[in-house]
Amino acid sequence: MPEKKEDIRIGVFLCHCGSNIAGYLNMEELAEFSEKLPHVTFVQRNLYTCSEGGINEIKKGIKEQNLNRVVVASCTPRTHEPLFRSSCGEAGLNPYLFEMVNIRDQCSWVHMKEQEDGTNKAKDLVRMGVAKAALLEPQESIMSEVQVRALVIGGGIAGMTSALALANRGYEGGLVEREEALGGLLNNLNKLGPTMIEADELVEEKTRSVTGNSNITVFTNARVTEVQGFIGKYKVDIETESGVKKIDIGVIIVATGGRPFVPEGLYNYDGKRVVTQLEMEKLLKAGLDPAIKNVVMIQCVGSRNEERPYCSRICCQTAVKNAMLIRELNPDAKVSILYRDMQMYGVENEEMFRDSKAKGVRYINYDPANPPQVEPDKVRVYHALLGRDMDLPADLVVLSTPLVSQEDAEVISRLLRVPVDENGFFLEGHVKLKPLDFATDGIFLCGSAHFPANIREAVAQGLGAASRASIPLSKGSVVVEPIISVLADEDACRGCGLCVALCPYGALEIQKTEKGRKVHVIDVACKGCGVCAATCYQHALSINSFTDQQIEAQLEAFLD
């Protein structure tokens, strides 16, 4: 124990969260209860503890009441724990002598209609938090150097943009592309909406900038086969035609893109008379056959269904763009778009949509329960307003299919230890707080690897990911949270390696020491998940701020 029990002075701050918590729990009762808990010398209720006023109250409490432990009972630690910790730090208290109790998500939100039970549960949680806080020990942040080089995986528009942005800031890096040429899906496109510039021009310009930049090493026909390390110190194996290249880098950007869904077996797809929107781009690029007079497009083919519930977002704008281009090339051609809902977000897209209607593109809504039928020379669709089937003559049928995740997304996911979602797209660290970062520090993502993105979005995300990756690169070092695994009892460790096999972050290794084989924690790589400590049958490993002693104290407090 760090200090004698009588020295411990805990301050409990109960947050009303406006009416989010106080509207459903009896805060007065909770405050009275908290005052009687062991070591608690100060209790205060705040309207919003996370507001400037609330933060100042914590600081004032630490200074004026000589608090040496702080407990905040409020919302989720995911968003506010770092704030409260740093506030403790600013007031001169070690930031890790802080404990957070979630009485919003776990009490007021889930027990909105049971004030008494909800309040009792909040009391239990506060009592447990206080019991743990009494045993907390100060921790020091961990500093580690960063190798000032980056690796971008994927040479499509997002990856090229990222690599260029980093290179232009003066950071060296590698760009790995699986195919022979850079450019990704952009190589198959014709003109790009809404400005109708040629895709080839964009690819050529970007490729020239990338290959001509001395800060970027391009690996084509190449794959990442091995990734070891952690933020600042990654060792990566790249398999190329001329053998395996090993590079040392500090950060990784995932820009592996998406893959167009091939609608085998849907709407008589044959790649000739019934084609995908991507194949349509090729037809337009080659100059459309003037004999094509009637075109029918069908939206949401293979998406927004049970298997793929998501909307790929970019197919509607592609369909409208291609419909306009068909009408430009063959002015007498009739183009009909059969849709479920039109996804035309943004000023230019909406304008293009309006423009296309004025120029004679026909839009017919269809019901997914009664989908269009593709027949040899026509498409039959049920028109809800007319209340009957309509036959549309069709020389060409174009299916708008979604972008799906890459086949090797799972492989990359395993190599980098980053998650993918239920559709196989890479999952960001947090929708709003870390949209271009993974939960694992030092790895970033952009473009359609995350979710179908149009060119503008892929470029914006590419620039954003490069910007985020620049933070550790420009600092040259990283500070990591010290809530990590430690070998608390070296003698107990038998070097069995069970923890090494189970660690999801590759943060453990077995080292030979004078005392024999012992586990070593790579502190920068450890995320403090606790799997190792829970597994170690010798109780040799322990997690800072989650020691057996602290957790046992919480359990005992609960059972009191």
Q: Least CB distance from residue 433 to another protein, whole Å?
A: 8
C-alpha to C-alpha distance for 272 and 190, rounded to whole angstroms: 18
- Chain positions 404 to 433 lying near another protein, rule: CB under 8 A, are 430-433
Instruction: Specify the DSSP class assigned to residue 261.
Output: P
Query: Which tokens hold the place of 256?
Result: 């592996």
How many residues bind another protein (CB under 8 A)? The answer is: 19
Is 79 a binding residue for another protein by CB under 8 A? The answer is: yes
- Chain positions 479 to 538 lying near another protein, rule: CB under 8 A, are none
Q: Least CB distance from residue 336 to another protein, whole Å?
A: 35
Looking at 51, 211, 240, 513, which residue binds another protein (CB under 8 A)? 51
Which CB sits closer to another protein, 47 or 555?
Answer: 47
Stretch that binds another protein, among 295-303, 366-374, 468-476, 523-531 (CB under 8 A): 468-476
**148 phi, psi to nearest 5 deg:** -85, 65
Which CB sits closer to another protein, 159 or 464?
Answer: 464
Which CB sits closer to another protein, 468 or 527?
Answer: 468
387-415 core/surface letters (b: 16 or more CB in 10 A; e: else): eeeeebebbbbbbbbbbbbbeebeebbeb
Which CB sits closer to another protein, 146 or 541?
Answer: 146
Print the binding letters for residues 364-403 with another protein: x by CB under 8 A, - otherwise.
----------------------------------------
Looking at 468, 508, 521, 542, which residue binds another protein (CB under 8 A)? 468
Listed residue (322, 336, 356) closest to 293, CA to CA: 336
CA distances from 321 to 32, 257, 529 (A): 66, 22, 48
> Could you give the 3-state DSSP secondary structure of residue 343?
coil
Neighbours of 38 (CB within 10 A): 12
Q: Least CB distance from residue 470 to another protein, whole Å?
A: 6
What is the residue whose two structure tokens read 């002693």?
549
Is 477 a binding residue for another protein by CB under 8 A? The answer is: no
Q: Least CB distance from residue 104 to another protein, whole Å?
A: 8
Is 467 a binding residue for another protein by CB under 8 A? The answer is: yes
- Provide the strand spans (E) within 8-162: 10-15, 40-46, 69-74, 98-102, 142-145, 149-153
Looking at 354, 475, 517, 539, which residue binds another protein (CB under 8 A)? 475
Is 66 a binding residue for another protein by CB under 8 A? The answer is: no
C-alpha to C-alpha distance for 110 and 319, rounded to whole angstroms: 45
- Counts for the chain of helices (H) and strands (E), in that order: 14, 30
Q: Least CB distance from residue 27 to another protein, whole Å?
A: 17
Listed residue (80, 167, 86) closest to 469, CA to CA: 167
Residue 447 in contact with residue 154, Cβ under 8 Å?
Answer: yes
Which CB sits closer to another protein, 115 or 467?
Answer: 467
Q: What angle do CA 10, 12, 13 make, to 5 degrees?
A: 145
Pinpoint the alpha helices (H) of 134-188.
157-168
Which CB sits closer to another protein, 245 or 434?
Answer: 434
Q: Least CB distance from residue 471 to another protein, whole Å?
A: 5
CA distances from 440 to 171, 232, 423 (A): 21, 12, 20
Is 182 a binding residue for another protein by CB under 8 A? The answer is: no
Q: Least CB distance from residue 251 to another protein, whole Å?
A: 13
**426 phi, psi to nearest 5 deg:** -65, 140
What is the residue whose two structure tokens read 């008494």?
116
Which CB sits closer to another protein, 470 or 535?
Answer: 470
Q: Least CB distance from residue 431 to another protein, whole Å?
A: 6
C-alpha to C-alpha distance for 224 and 450, rounded to whole angstroms: 18
Looking at 37, 50, 231, 337, which residue binds another protein (CB under 8 A)? 50
Q: Least CB distance from residue 242 to another protein, whole Å?
A: 36
Q: Least CB distance from residue 146 to another protein, whole Å?
A: 13
Q: Least CB distance from residue 474 to another protein, whole Å?
A: 4
Looking at 139, 144, 423, 470, which residue binds another protein (CB under 8 A)? 470
Ramachandran region of residue 446, left (φ > 0), alpha (ψ -120 to 50) or beta? Answer: beta
Is 101 a binding residue for another protein by CB under 8 A? The answer is: no
Ramachandran region of residue 96, left (φ > 0), alpha (ψ -120 to 50) or beta? Answer: alpha
Print the binding letters for residues 15-34 with another protein: x by CB under 8 A, - otherwise.
--x--x--------------
Q: Least CB distance from residue 313 to another protein, whole Å?
A: 16
Stretch that binds another protein, among 22-30, 150-158, 261-269, 469-477 (CB under 8 A): 469-477
Listed residue (541, 507, 545) closest to 526, CA to CA: 507
308-318 core/surface letters (b: 16 or more CB in 10 A; e: else): bebbbbbbbbb
Q: Least CB distance from residue 449 to another protein, whole Å?
A: 20
Which CB sits closer to another protein, 33 or 444?
Answer: 444
What is the residue whose two structure tokens read 């310009």?
205
Is 474 a binding residue for another protein by CB under 8 A? The answer is: yes
Query: Which tokens hold the place of 481?
Result: 């949270």
Which residues in this chain contact another protein in the complex, by CB under 8 A?
Answer: 17, 20, 48, 50-51, 75-76, 78-79, 430-433, 467-468, 470-471, 474-475
